[in-house]
Structure 1
Amino acid sequence: MAIEQIYQQIFGAALLALLCVVASVLTRRIGAPILLVFLLLGMVAGEEGLGGIRFDDAVLAFLFGNVALAIIIFDGGLGTRKDTFRVSLKPALSLATLGVIVTAAITGFAAHIILNLSWQEGLLVGAIVGSTDAAAVFGLLRNAGLELKERTSATLEIESGSNDPMAIFLTITLVHILQISSDINQGWTIVSELLRQMGLGLGIGFAGGHLLAHMLRHLALPSALYPLLALAGGITLFGLATIWEGSGFLAIFIAGVIVGNTPHPYSNDLHRFHDGIAWLSQIGMFLMLGLLVTPSHLIPITVPAVAIAFVLIFIARPVAVMISLLPFHFPWREQIFIGWCGLRGAVPIILALFPSLAGVANTQTYFELVFFVVLISLVLQGWTIAPMARWLQIELPPTVKEPEYLHLTIKHEQDKELLIYPVLADSRVVGSTVDRIPVAEGSEVVAVIRRGVLLNKMHQAQLICDDQVMILATSNARSALGRLFAPAAHTPLLESDQFFGEFVLRPEANVVDVAEAYGFIVSSSLADITIEQYLTHHFHGKPVVGDQVKLGLVTLIVREFEGGRIVSVGLKLRSPE
């Protein structure tokens, strides 16, 4: 290859990446799924598009796709907070295991009928398209400015990192079955493959994650190398698990969760770096997949692909969600939304390369069919997720955004950090004296800077706009301080009142007292029940902000939830029926 061609390829790749980044601004305005734009740009640059680039190296695509997926899943693990497990761990794992199996079975049966494939080949198609891309869902919701109940958002978040291993396991297992000439040991093949994939993935993820977190806390490195240590360590665990024929994606997700929830000096740098590298991985992966497909080859399979996509979106995913969430008593609106959030992304397209690399028959059909199904999913579901959330009325009023602040780590003090917050004109601390700032136990205000000068008698001075407040804080106090120094919400108070109600109740208020105050009668069995107990019982011990229940002539809404307890309840008056 000539040197000029190499430079041209570097220029072309950089230009495509630049176009993807710039296109994200446009997609945010029109509500289009950003991953669809990346995919279409790759197709435009491909051999039948304006770029005329010919790319058909399935091995290279598989290699790059696996590394990119591992990085994206690791970043998802880093961003998964352990407190979200309270309401969503079990339902998310049910969706990620049973849900994927049910989706694969129903879609596989449809592929068996529509394409006249054997049952093994039909199930292989179902397994390939079995996992969702909830990361794309959250990108769309963030772009639309939507906030969901914690029960819904956390379930989708955890599912996004844990359902890929099950789809990969099913795909690899079915590829192995198609390569076996005898049917005698197929049942044992499935069981042994499941035990090996899940067992090794869990073991390597937990052990490696704790080892990596220990290294990040105790190794003395230049600050710029800590994010690279985490990335290299995560990819190493992924590679080790796959070499031992375990689930590398499960291993790297668990390692990411452990590292992300372990306090260490450079956690902010770690998250920012991996957010950026995950975006770069998504851009590169979808551009590559767009280059890999030949658009003219999609035309002959349009009808069967649309039929299979219809079964997947409108039958398989909703049924899988209903069955998987049955024991967890999810409200029906949230079940419908989670069912609609079965957005397909990069994983099915990468999995469609497995049969080709294994030498299984009909490989081109698998790839083109799956690519078309993903395209339909991105267009149909990706473009309608935000309107669906509004239609189902499961969004919450926007919360106050955390203010920008400076973060300084303290060497050899893993649980302490120095935070510098600006005093904004409409924040809660304006006009307060330092000794009245409600900082958490173990934290203290150490300095106030005003117009570049350190205040000597800061405890008696009232804070004014543009002051800089320096706080020595514990690692778990950051969220509370963020709410304290945050600017007032930009949305009208009326919007919040319309959702949470006109009045605020204490959670320890008695249900009977509330009924008497608002002129209705409740059952005598509620005589000694508080509002908090009533709501907690109604939502099976796991209420979240935004949950609401009708009681006589009023509606009770969970307004604030902290430390595992309801701390504020909204009350909305209802018209007498």
Structure 2
Amino acid sequence: MTVSVELVLFVISILFFLSILASKAGYKFGVPALLLFLGVGMAFGSDGLGIQFENIQVAQAIGTISLCIILFSGGMDTKLSEIRPIIPQGVVLATFGVFLTAILTGVLIWWVLGMTMASTGIGLITSLLLAATMSSTDSASVFSILRSKGLNLKNNLRPMLELESGSNDPMAYILTITLIEIVQMGGEPDYLSAFGMLFFQLIVGGIAGYGLGKLSVRLINRLEIDNASLYPILVFTFCIFIFSFTYLIQGNGYLAVYIGGLVIGNTRFVHKRSSVNFFDGMAWMSQLLMFLTLGLLVNPHELIPIIIPGLIISFLMILVTRPLSVFFTLLPFRKMSFKDKTFVSWVGLRGAVPIIFAIILLAEEVPHARLMFNIVFFCTLVSLVVQGSSLSQMAVWLGLAEKPSELKKMKNFDVEFSDEIKSVTTEITITANTLKSGNHLMDLAIPENTLVVMVKRDDKFFIPTGKTTLQEGDKLLIITDNQEALLKTITNLETTAPSDLSTTT
């Protein structure tokens, strides 16, 4: 039976739309959007509405490209000034932390499966391989959950967690590939060769990401393209080039593309704002597509036999192996408090990356690959439900959540400024209380360094002057060069509560 392209596009559009609706509802109830994307894929899969999707190669390609875009976007959104103080902690967690997690988890998986599924005959090396696929925190999950919830964390914890999740995939990938070779050969592990390959790929990936990132910025600024819409596409082209070129020279493409995004995002270049916004949308689309694909790939009925061992493994990773690896690797950093380390332990989110690594097991036809894929998928579901849903509450319990900004993004004015322009904009609604001192713009008690640059009345926009007569219900676009002046404006105007206002910086 031949399936038309139009039918495939129709199904994809329905899946995307339902996933977006599910994420909107999930955000209201505190459920991670990525979990709902998976749920929609499973609902439409072979055990749901019957969509048959078993193409491992296509799933692996979608996962690789999507992860590349997510890491690059995460790097572009990360401010170097924020991560500079916590680079040592992030690097240690991304390397030794991942290695220790894989070893501890592998031993416990061997013990758990020996107790609950002895008939499968899974040995220690295979258990270590299964653990390696789940040893890194998932960048897609960490980026989306921390940022979508607007979680403000004390002590530079958020940039450290994002740095860890964005740079720890290479270690998990190399461990996975090395253990696959060992399992397939059935021989003794060549530890020297494995460690040599690990450090070689990390060094090449880091150098390539930094060098190609710098080269990309220089080319973007020197190429004079008449059509400004092509600049985000140009940045996307460099993203794909950095990943693929690094892979061709035997480096780690995942690390290179994250560092490349970090370098490009922290450098001035032409049409930077539009490129950043473009990649933000691309990252969310990639996450949606990736999790939908993974949801379609799994057969839910195959998860039933592994529920008990899956739950045991999941909670051992959440409560034992992740905390042990975090506390041990962060021992040299005595300034980090017990609460800080506890929260870092809790943000051991699993997501698409472990499942993508498990797809590699299927593609390589590793013994017990389907069983390992199902366990990884189940553990990812548990991680997103338990850790993803409780992230904000855990930060509050530990006293690590800072009071978030009370000002929301603007709704009536589609205006943005470059990051280099240190300005803050907000919009306010004129009320009867605002007009008590007079109904002209010059009558408003606006402090210095603050301007009203535009007024929206009904569906019309106009630039005001001091003599402009204001009406109740008018929306005013205000710009200031510092946050204090903005807050002073809000206080002086005494319109509505700050939580009803909108802002962008």
Q: What is aligned with 1:47?
A: 46
Residue by residue, what CA displacement relative to the aligned partner does 1:79-120 show, whole Å, maximum 9, x if unpaired? 110111233211111111111111111111112222243332
Distance in 2 between residues matched to 1:296 and 1:36, nearest whole Å = 18
Residue by residue, what CA displacement relative to the aligned partner does 1:264-311 show, whole Å, maximum 9, x if unpaired? 231111111111111111111111101101111111122221121121
Alpha-carbon offset, residue 452 of structure 1:
4.0
Whether the 8 Å CA contact 1:205–1:252 is kept in 2: the answer is yes
Whether the 8 Å CA contact 2:140–2:287 is kept in 1: the answer is no
Aligned partner (choices 386, 399, 406) of residue 415 of structure 2: 406
Match of 2:43, as an amino acid?
V
Match of 1:204, as an amino acid?
A
Residue by residue, what CA displacement relative to the aligned partner does 1:174-232 show, whole Å, maximum 9, x if unpaired? 1122233542x702221221122102211210111111111222211221111111111
Q: What is aligned with 1:161?
A: 166
Q: What is aligned with 1:251?
A: 256
Residue 282 of structure 2 corresponds to residue 273 of structure 1: no
Cα–Cα, structure 1 residues 202 and 351, in superposed 2: closer, same or farther, change >3 Å?
A: same
Residue 28 of structure 2 corresponds to residue 33 of structure 1: no
Whether the 8 Å CA contact 2:424–2:483 is kept in 1: the answer is no
Q: What is aligned with 1:114?
A: 112
Aligned partner (choices 326, 337, 351) of residue 357 of structure 2: 351
Residue by residue, what CA displacement relative to the aligned partner does 1:424-468 show, whole Å, maximum 9, x if unpaired? 4799x96357xx429xxxxxx9x96788458699xxxxxxx9676
Cα–Cα, structure 1 residues 278 and 483, in superposed 2: closer, same or farther, change >3 Å?
A: farther
Question: Which structure: larger Rg?
Answer: 1
Whether the 8 Å CA contact 1:95–1:159 is kept in 2: the answer is yes
Residue by residue, what CA displacement relative to the aligned partner does 1:349-376 show, whole Å, maximum 9, x if unpaired? 0001222222321111111111111111
Query: Percent of aligned pairs with the same residue?
Result: 34
- 5+ unaligned residues in a row in structure 1: which ranges? 410-414, 439-444, 458-464, 472-479, 494-577
Whether the 8 Å CA contact 2:129–2:180 is kept in 1: the answer is yes
Q: What is aligned with 2:439?
A: none
Match of 2:374, as an amino acid?
E
Cα–Cα, structure 1 residues 302 and 455, in superposed 2: closer, same or farther, change >3 Å?
A: closer
398-407 or 216-225, larger mean C-alpha shift: 398-407
Cα–Cα, structure 1 residues 180 and 491, in superposed 2: closer, same or farther, change >3 Å?
A: farther
Q: What is aligned with 1:431?
A: 445
Q: Which has the higher contact order (CA 8 A, sep 6+)?
A: 2
- 5+ unaligned residues in a row in structure 2: which ranges? 115-121, 435-441, 456-460, 468-473, 500-505
Match of 1:431, as an amino acid?
A
Alpha-carbon offset, residue 470 of structure 1:
8.1
Q: What is aligned with 1:197?
A: 201
Alpha-carbon offset, residue 45 of structure 1:
0.3
Match of 1:88, as an amino acid?
I
Specify which structure has the higher proportion of helix: 2
Distance in 2 between residues matched to 1:399 and 1:199, nearest whole Å = 39
Q: What is aligned with 1:7?
A: 6
**How many residues are aligned here?**
461
Q: What is aligned with 1:104?
A: 102
Match of 2:21, as an amino acid?
V
Alignment of 1:132-531 (within 5 A): 132-137=137-142, 139-183=144-188, 186-221=190-225, 222-328=227-333, 329-401=335-407, 404=410, 406-407=415-416, 421=425, 424=428, 431-432=445-446, 436-437=448-449, 452=462, 481=482, 484-485=485-486, 488=490
Specify which structure has the higher proportion of strand: 1
Whether the 8 Å CA contact 2:37–2:288 is kept in 1: the answer is yes
Alignment of 1:59-74 (within 5 A): 59-74=57-72
Whether the 8 Å CA contact 1:137–1:385 is kept in 2: the answer is no
Pairwise CA RMSD of aligned residues? 3.1
97-106 or 396-405, larger mean C-alpha shift: 396-405
Whether the 8 Å CA contact 2:424–2:486 is kept in 1: the answer is no
Alpha-carbon offset, residue 156 of structure 1:
0.9
Whether the 8 Å CA contact 1:448–1:454 is kept in 2: the answer is yes
252-261 or 89-98, larger mean C-alpha shift: 89-98
Whether the 8 Å CA contact 2:303–2:378 is kept in 1: the answer is yes
Distance in 2 between residues matched to 1:482 and 1:266, nearest whole Å = 25
Aligned partner (choices 76, 89, 92) of residue 90 of structure 2: 92
Equivalent residue of 2:374, what SS? helix
Whether the 8 Å CA contact 1:16–1:41 is kept in 2: the answer is yes
Distance in 2 between residues matched to 1:138 and 1:149, nearest whole Å = 17
Equivalent residue of 2:384, what SS? helix
Q: What is aligned with 1:127?
A: 132
65-74 or 114-123, larger mean C-alpha shift: 114-123
Match of 2:445, as an amino acid?
G
Distance in 2 between residues matched to 1:470 and 1:304, nearest whole Å = 57
Whether the 8 Å CA contact 1:402–1:482 is kept in 2: the answer is no
Whether the 8 Å CA contact 2:355–2:373 is kept in 1: the answer is yes
Alpha-carbon offset, residue 406 of structure 1:
3.1
Whether the 8 Å CA contact 2:318–2:346 is kept in 1: the answer is yes
Whether the 8 Å CA contact 2:44–2:51 is kept in 1: the answer is yes
Distance in 2 between residues matched to 1:10 and 1:182, nearest whole Å = 47
Alpha-carbon offset, residue 78 of structure 1:
0.5
Cα–Cα, structure 1 residues 419 and 226, in superposed 2: closer, same or farther, change >3 Å?
A: farther
Residue by residue, what CA displacement relative to the aligned partner does 1:487-531 show, whole Å, maximum 9, x if unpaired? 7498889xxxxxxxxxxxxxxxxxxxxxxxxxxxxxxxxxxxxxx
Match of 2:349, as an amino acid?
L
Whether the 8 Å CA contact 1:406–1:420 is kept in 2: the answer is no
Cα–Cα, structure 1 residues 422 and 36, in superposed 2: closer, same or farther, change >3 Å?
A: closer
Distance in 2 between residues matched to 1:297 and 1:374, nearest whole Å = 15
Distance in 2 between residues matched to 1:182 and 1:422, nearest whole Å = 65
Residue by residue, what CA displacement relative to the aligned partner does 1:358-415 show, whole Å, maximum 9, x if unpaired? 2321111111111111111111112222221221121111225476573478xxxxx9
Distance in 1 between residues matched to 2:78 and 2:420, nearest whole Å = 22
Cα–Cα, structure 1 residues 47 and 181, in superposed 2: closer, same or farther, change >3 Å?
A: closer
Whether the 8 Å CA contact 1:134–1:341 is kept in 2: the answer is no
Whether the 8 Å CA contact 1:420–1:468 is kept in 2: the answer is no
Distance in 1 between residues matched to 2:25 and 2:417, nearest whole Å = 35
Whether the 8 Å CA contact 1:227–1:270 is kept in 2: the answer is yes
Residue by residue, what CA displacement relative to the aligned partner does 1:127-150 show, whole Å, maximum 9, x if unpaired? 100111254345445555542115
Aligned partner (choices 83, 88, 94) of residue 81 of structure 2: 83
